[in-house]
């Protein structure tokens, strides 16, 4: 990883850890020749290979070189060893805009300045046919001059990602910031979806909280699709009119970036130089660095027997697939099945699986098979319709959230319900964040 005396590849002196995620850690570092501060994202090759994320990492690097812009975090170079990939990036020491909002809502003129810079950068991305798809305050950084910089292009898409209908179809992003058409899973315009996210961000900056929120994910999606906005008393009429046009549920009539730029509220104290930035060319040398970084990756795959790694990986939108249909109409139907239950848990996969085994034994249910996140349980003797058989499967949605699905596969429904209500539900209480259709407990 880091060479002798904490110097990476004789070029960067590694410093403190700035943050970490499922597949990478970000460190502060210093260029030993120029003394320039940089941020270095250290990515574990083994993990991205095992999870099939090589294409995503490749696209992220390509996109970051394609959108070199004053309001976008700059990628300087890409390096690699046999086990690690290193993104050497601009160090933005002001932190996340999210941290600023956490301390309270922003004054209108401050929020407008950040919104102007955000629109400037997003417009530039769209001019290069790049769609971020995960715009939110956590991915907006501030430099020492309080200028905004967009980061994290890991979920971004380019024109090549579109299907024959000219639309994007991968549902991704952070649930509270996604557009209604993304939730519907019927295809969406990446530019229109980014504009919606910009509107949610502006609302958050001005209000200090989200426009559409609910502890129940499905209820939150319902609010997003209806786009029923409630206005804080301090929102000016001009802001309300603009947000009403940005947070419009129909993408075909949603305001465009060109129209936003002409909007009177947006143009107040506007720095004209914001939109004078010249389009830049892709730097072929860094794209070559990218190829070298990923070149020998497949020969370095090592199997990892960690319980969490064996679970099926979901993003929040895949929960929609668990409804009766893939369209939005099926998403909000009440779950009337008496043979299936689901719950969310913030526990680790190991804790969930261990608890499930423990509870099964206490209820005299035989554990037939454990494979990754799947547990099969059977009753000890036949009932009216044979032996009750139950499948319990855990799906990793994020590193800190798991969805657990409990389904009867054989036996009497009344007997299954008795096991659920008198046995499994009470016994699993300590690991359950919320059952489907119920509010999560604080």
Which residue, 111, 117, 122, is CA-closest to 192?
Answer: 122
* Token pair for 247: 């947070």
Axis-axis angle for helices 284-295, 54-66 (nearest 10)? 170
Q: Quickly tell me which residue has 């547990």 as its tokens.
A: 375
Q: DSSP string spanning 227-252?
A: T-----TTS-HHHHHHHHHHT-S-TT
| Sign for the pseudo-dihedral over CA of 332, 333, 334, 339 | negative
Which residue, 402, 403, 420, is CA-closest to 411?
Answer: 420
φ, ψ dihedrals at 157, nearest 5°: -130, 155
Q: Which of 134, 152, 189, 289 is catalytic?
A: 134
Cβ atoms of 346 and 332 within 8 Å: the answer is: no
Query: How far is 52 from 46, CA to CA, in rounded Å?
Result: 10
* Token pair for 216: 């129940």
Pairing verdict, β 12-20 and 24-31:
antiparallel
* Token pair for 397: 């949605």
Which residue, 342, 339, 377, is CA-closest to 357?
Answer: 377
Cβ atoms of 148 and 121 within 8 Å: the answer is: yes
Annotation says 152 is catalytic = no
Cβ atoms of 128 and 155 within 8 Å: the answer is: no
Q: Quickly tell me which residue has 């000890």 as its tokens.
A: 380
Active site residues: 134
């Amino acid at each position: 990883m880091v060479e002798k005396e904490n110097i990476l590849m004789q070029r960067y002196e590694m410093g403190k850890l700035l943050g970490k995620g499922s597949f990478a850690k970000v460190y502060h570092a210093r260029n030993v020749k120029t003394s320039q501060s940089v941020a270095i994202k250290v990515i574990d090759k083994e993990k991205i290979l095992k999870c099939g994320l090589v294409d995503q990492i490749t696209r992220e690097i390509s996109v970051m070189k394609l959108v070199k812009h004053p309001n976008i975090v700059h990628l300087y170079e890409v390096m690699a060893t046999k086990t690690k990939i290193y993104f050497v990036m601009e160090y933005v020491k002001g932190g996340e805009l999210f941290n600023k909002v956490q301390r309270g809502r922003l004054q209108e003129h401050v929020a407008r300045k950040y919104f102007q810079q955000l629109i400037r950068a997003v417009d530039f991305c769209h001019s290069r046919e790049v769609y971020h798809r995960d715009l939110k305050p956590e991915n907006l950084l501030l430099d020492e001059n309080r200028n905004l910089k967009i980061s994290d292009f890991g979920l971004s898409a380019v024109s090549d990602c579109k299907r024959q209908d000219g639309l994007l179809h991968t549902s991704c992003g952070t649930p509270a910031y996604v557009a209604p058409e993304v939730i519907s899973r019927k295809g969406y315009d990446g530019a229109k979806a980014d504009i919606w996210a910009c509107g949610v961000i502006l609302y958050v900056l001005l209000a200090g909280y989200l426009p559409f929120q609910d502890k129940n994910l499905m209820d939150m999606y319902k609010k997003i699709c209806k786009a029923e906005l409630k206005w804080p008393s301090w929102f000016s009429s001009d802001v309300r009119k603009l947000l009403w046009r940005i947070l419009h549920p129909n993408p075909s009539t949603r305001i465009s970036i060109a129209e936003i730029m002409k909007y009177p509220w947006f143009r107040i104290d506007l720095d004209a130089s914001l939109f004078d930035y010249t389009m830049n060319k892709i730097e072929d040398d860094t794209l070559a660095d990218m190829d070298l970084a990923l070149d020998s990756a497949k020969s370095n795959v090592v199997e990892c027997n960690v319980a969490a790694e064996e679970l099926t990986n979901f993003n929040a939108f895949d929960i929609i697939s668990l409804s009766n249909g893939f369209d939005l109409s099926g998403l909000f139907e009440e779950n009337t099945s008496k043979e299936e239950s689901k719950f969310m848990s913030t526990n680790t996969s190991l804790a969930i699986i261990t608890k499930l085994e423990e509870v099964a034994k206490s209820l005299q249910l035989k554990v037939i098979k454990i494979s990754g996140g799947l547990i099969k349980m059977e009753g000890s003797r036949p009932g009216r319709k044979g032996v009750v058989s139950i499948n319990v499967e855990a799906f990793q949605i994020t590193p800190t959230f798991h969805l657990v699905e409990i389904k009867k596969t054989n036996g009497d429904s009344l007997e299954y319900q008795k096991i659920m209500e008198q046995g499994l539900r009470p016994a699993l209480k300590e690991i359950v964040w919320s059952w489907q259709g119920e509010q999560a407990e604080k």
